A and B are shown apart, each in its own frame.
Chain A
Amino acid sequence: MTHISDFDAPKKPWLRLMVPILIVLGFAVLFVIMDQNGKAPGREDQGPTGKSPMGAKLQEGQTYYLFASEIELYPTNLKNDAWDGGKNGPDIRYRILWQGNQVFESEEKEDSLIADWSGLSLDLEWTDLMGKSISPDEAIKAARIRYEKGGLVEVEVEDDDVADDDEAGRAEIQLKDLRLGRNEIPFEKTSVNAVRRINLRVLPHGSAIRDLVDLMK
């Protein structure tokens, strides 16, 4: 007597076995294709979620952070001589003056015609890592200014020398001309200016970290 088991039944079971596998594979592939074409729902935007107010005008009465993210000098100084006597590039430092007062002085960037500053600096001790809270105010190294009609800031750029500091240029910038985020301001070489361009960053004081981050990128 012959015993026919379920697997031995004449129904081509291995062929039938493929049906769920093909359905699983088919739907998986279909979904991936649709997803790649951007048709599938549920795809998450993985970029920053904050809305950047980049390019917006400054608001009257509002306080802002202001710093130069990049300053480029012409290859020669005001007297058309090489910087630092031709040995090295200039050691660039800048100051921001607002309402006749110096409100910020940057760190010095040695031997460079193009100097950049991140606007951030943290002086951390090891003990600070044990729970000290650090606010953006403490970390952002920039001038704090308030926008008022007709307001302006002065940016003084100099080549910091051991013997005597050489002025590289001095720019008066109308606050109404500035926008939130990056502002590139070019300058002509003259007898009183050796600064080729200044990139000024304006960040709204007291805004959400996410917005500040977007503006600093």
Chain B
Amino acid sequence: MSRNHLLILLSSALLGVGLVAPTLTIRPQAGEFSWLVEILAPEELVPSTYSIVGVIRELYHIGDVFLAGVLGLFSIVFPVFKLCLYWLGIDRSGSLVSSGSLYEWTTRASKFSMAEVFVLALVILSVKALPGGSSATMEWGAYVFVGSALGAMLVPTLAKKNEP
């Protein structure tokens, strides 16, 4: 098993954890009435921590199927698909297969190496603009997810270095 295969396995493990680990904590506030809401309806101000899968599920439950689909596509389906392609497209020596449709797909996928991180960043950026002083903070799961994307990004680069 080549170093690239190990890197793919590591990225897969990080992706698995990154998808279900706490990624985003939203602390709702109601501006200057926050203290009053805390007394009358404290459940409204309880901080909520979401994983990426949790965000997708929440979006789906509130009826935002489109956004849930986009986030699911770019944060789950695409990264898994990419890792699968790399796994298949790298031979025992750790190099990319030299030709064929697999080579083309792998090259194409590597061009969108950070798309999932970009989508995640957009989600965090959008909730950071919540009204009433509400805040959103990144949790450690986001870093694990980014680590997975970085690992996956390194695979084609290292594979090309191994090419004869």
Contact = CB atoms under 8 A, between A and B. Distances in A.
Interface in A42-90: 42-44, 46-48
Contacts of B97: 6
A120 B46 CA distance: 21
B80 interface: yes
B88 A13 contact: yes
B38 interface: yes
A133 B32 contact: yes
Interface string B62-106: 000000000000000000100110111100000001011111000
Contacts of B40: 120
Contacts of A185: none
Contacts, number: 105
Interface of A: 5-7, 13, 16-17, 19-21, 23-32, 35, 40, 42-44, 46-48, 118, 120, 122, 133-134, 136, 139, 209-210, 212-213, 216-217
Given A6-B101, A28-B19, A44-B22, A23 B140 contact: no
Given A20-B12, A20-B80, A28-B20, A6 B47 contact: no
A42 B22 CA distance: 8
Interface residues of B, number: 42
Contacts of B32: 133-134
Contact of A6 (B36, B103, B141): B103
B102 A27 contact: no
Q: Which of A23, A30, A122, A139 has the most CB of B within 10 A?
A: A23
Given A6-B89, A6-B97, A42 B141 contact: yes
Given A6-B101, A23-B16, A42-B21, 12 more contacts: A6-B100, A6-B102, A20-B12, A20-B87, A29-B16, A42-B139, A44-B49, A47-B46, A133-B32, A134-B33, A134-B36, A209-B38
Contacts of A17: 84, 87-88
Given A120-B39, A134-B32, A209-B38, A6 B22 contact: no
Nearest to B38: A213
